Amino acid sequence: MDSTAPFVIIGNGIAGVTAAETLRNGSPQAPIVLIASDTLPVYYRPALKDYLAGRVGEEQLRARPLTFYQEKQLYCLSDRVVGLDPRQHLVHLQSGRQVPYTRLLLANGSRPRRLLCPGHDLNGVTTLRSVADYQAVLARQPGVRQVVVAGGGTLALETVESLRQRKLEVAHIIRSNTLWPAVLDATASDLVLQEEMRDGVTVLLNEEIAEITGTQGQVNGVKTSGGVRIACQMVIVAIGIEPNLDFIKQAGIACGRGVRVNSLMRTSQPDIYAAGDVVESVDPRTGWARVIGQWYPAVQQGRAAAYAMLDVLDDQRPFSASTFYNATFLYGLDCAAVGLTSLHVPQFQDIVDEPRPRHYRKVTLYNGVPVGMLALGDRREALAYKRALDYSVSLAPIASSLFAEGFSMNEWLDRQGVPPPVTGASSMKLQPVMSGR
């Protein structure tokens, strides 16, 4: 391996950009190369829903300035990766160029899943991933009154809410009987769905789009698997993401749903790391694997990978992709989740707060130790529960008091001498800098 070869990052989304910043801070003189088909700096993906709703302009979407690469002294290649040679430490590009690396980060993200039903290629059918996708929806909007949104995750939900704010009629088609099944249980999902329906959204559970109909190449409706017909002039498909694994698998790198990494973000091949939407996260207790596909985990994974590439990742700290704290709004309801919040495992014990309108909180224990916390409508002390998860603190002695009036998890953890929550990867030599949510 050529020790003078650069650090190479494939992808310039938030995981890749965060890694580049961290590498530059830790190694001011090291050559760093980013490879991406679009070399414009990353945009702030969580703001796209506000852009669709008309609350922010396009100029407010940039997460980094246009001068970012120059300021950080990063060399950008506008090209597409077609292969890797782990033995020779080479990246093969579509242009025919070969780029050597000393250590390589796979941060090449994912692509949206698409419908393959009849009519999927009609004008007016779109996925939402890039700024261009959102621009296309906004350009088409003047001729649209009715929209069908397919998908049960946060992207679908945010899209429905944004379209309703633009006074469009919206039908929301969900394949399962709950929203965001990786995070929300049936009770939490029902609370959010009630908010949707109060806002005038037509919600269809346990349904899929079987056919998209049209005239003269333009969408005019959908037919569901249950035989329901819905008139519309636009169909937005938000049914999940697929990590970009083609050249990665061909290089012999171990993959499941995404790239498999260890606690140091290393793949199965020497000197190759991965971060962001391309990564598969596995819970060590259950073996449950998933692709998280969220902004804040991508930030932290990018930072952790860069620390590992610099050999300074503090592996004594309990950094785990499976226990990221996720805070957001679901149709106006405050939501916070950490760990495993919707798995039905016999050995798990759910402790649920007293029911209140538009509020729901529960903690999931395994042998008395918390493995998940979900809060909807009231996320007070959610980070305190992450603190307990991070250090595997047994809550068995206080299980009956977790949601009692006047009980403070933070104060109790302070009395036990538990350290602060792990909000991200840390370095043995560098001070971690928080970046976004």
HEC string of 371-387?
EEEEEECCCCCHHHHHH
Q: How do 234-237 and 125-127 pair as beta strands? A: parallel
Of the candidate ranges 38-42, 199-203, 312-316, 425-429, the one whose mean pLDDT is the lowest: 425-429
The bridge status of strand 333-339 relative to strand 369-376 is antiparallel
Q: Which two tokens stand for residue 155?
A: 């992207």
pLDDT tens sequence across 149-166: 999 999 999 999 999 999
Q: How much is the mean pLDDT over the chain? A: 92
Q: How far apart are CA 208 and CA 383, in angstroms?
A: 36
pLDDT of 1 reads: 40
Q: Which of 58-62, 163-167, 296-300 has the highest mean pLDDT?
A: 163-167
All structural domains of the chain, each given as residue ranges with its CATH number in brackets, are 7-111+242-309 (3.50.50.60), 114-239 (3.50.50.60), 332-415 (3.30.390.30)
Neighbouring C-beta atoms of residue 326, cutoff 10 Å: 20
**pLDDT at residue 437 above 90?**
no
Please give the Cα distance from 75 to 129 (Å, whole number): 25
Q: How many CB atoms lie within 10 A of CB 329?
A: 13
Q: Which tens digits make up the pLDDT trace of 114-136?
A: 999 999 999 999 999 999 999 99
CA triple 437-275-36, angle to 5 deg: 100
* 81 Cβ contact partners less than 8 Å away, ≥ 6 residues apart: 10, 35, 91, 92, 93, 94, 108, 247
Residues 127 and 235: beta-carbon distance below 8 Å: no
Residue of higher predicted confidence among 196 and 322:
196
- Mean pLDDT computed over 318-325: 68
Weakest-pLDDT range from 1-15, 49-63, 370-384: 1-15
Q: Structure pTM?
A: 0.92
Range with lowest mean pLDDT among 141-145, 314-318, 357-361: 314-318
